[in-house]
Structure 1
């Protein structure tokens, strides 16, 4: 059985990877890949806090999968696929959480800036938590996950004006009444986000190393967006699997090309 790493050892790994003290750090993580760590998920969060320091801001995804229920930042659970670290983080004292379905959670001096925007539709427009991390020149840390989990690439898609939108919806409270909001989202399987590995590596814009037991990646959000925009300008459908690949999600995104993006309330 692998011996659990101490929080101090994990903090040292994060600093060797290049986590900036005093910066903004957006973290996507799989604790299953990272463990064992002293203190479990809370121990990992403490190590991340120590790595960014008291002047740094820690950010994690915190959206829900309960699209038929109005979101409550104080009680609504995070989506299961975000994992136990994200679920633990937003419940911590002093952590702010966006007050909308596509929430992120943040702690630190820039937390209010990151989480202040109203419901972003689609979820990762510039006026969203991911967009604010980009504005603040934050870093993106992928702990035991690949770029398929990297929401900053969805921001790049929207900034590039990709032409696909698939139907999505959420439920909000309007005048005390649950109201369904339909919108188009730049959604697909995200597997081809893995292309960003080579794009960033060849330019020396991604550092990689072990954090806990997991292979991890670190880049500036602005570098991720800048490089992705370069490639998307040549092929806006680059992140979609080819037609003959048998990917239902990417096929659905391709079929939406040419349709007008939409946002509407259906009551």
Structure 2
């Protein structure tokens, strides 16, 4: 499979140049920037410089994604982060699902440069016993049914893949194993937004973060009217409002 598969319409990266506060947002596993653009636009309208990259292997075909690994996804996000740091006085990082795991890794590895972290239904662990089979199953079948578009609100589409690529899924599980031991190195103020009715990620990640994160400032917010892709769901406005206030408080002008 060529690495130049066309980008799915609507899955393009988002770029908005604004003021001295930078915000980097990451979409989730098999998803695309489409899941983050409304949130990104809301932050850009507040004058921030905002980036939502399209992670390698995403927004094209699930087969192409199966040729990428978590180091590729993290590497692309880190490059965007470093460019934002050069441009802006302060930088907040955020993400949905796997994007939340990547954002937490950024915060752990760049504690002096990340001013705030905002995660929505982040994934660092899952209790599904079928996941234990993935390291073996990936050599037998290329994909399994999709996990995308877990959204309560009708008519929403995160431009996710119709299949779950198993080699990539196993790599995401390896990402979890890398990030969890680093949670104590995350010291930036953390806003954690979680949907109790999430059909993709269970409560294990919340428990891990509560127990191990090094942030002295932590806020936890329940999204009662949304499923996993809460950024496109009924609580999208709440995410926008709470994250904007949190970023203003902890990464606003004068914090850098």
Asked if Structure 1 and Structure 2 have the same fold, meaning a TM-score greater than 0.5 normalized by the shorter chain, the answer is no
Q: Which is higher, the Rg of structure 1 or of structure 2?
A: 1
Which structure has the highest strand share of the two? 1
TM-score normalised to structure 1 length: 0.29
TM-score, normalization by structure 2 = 0.30
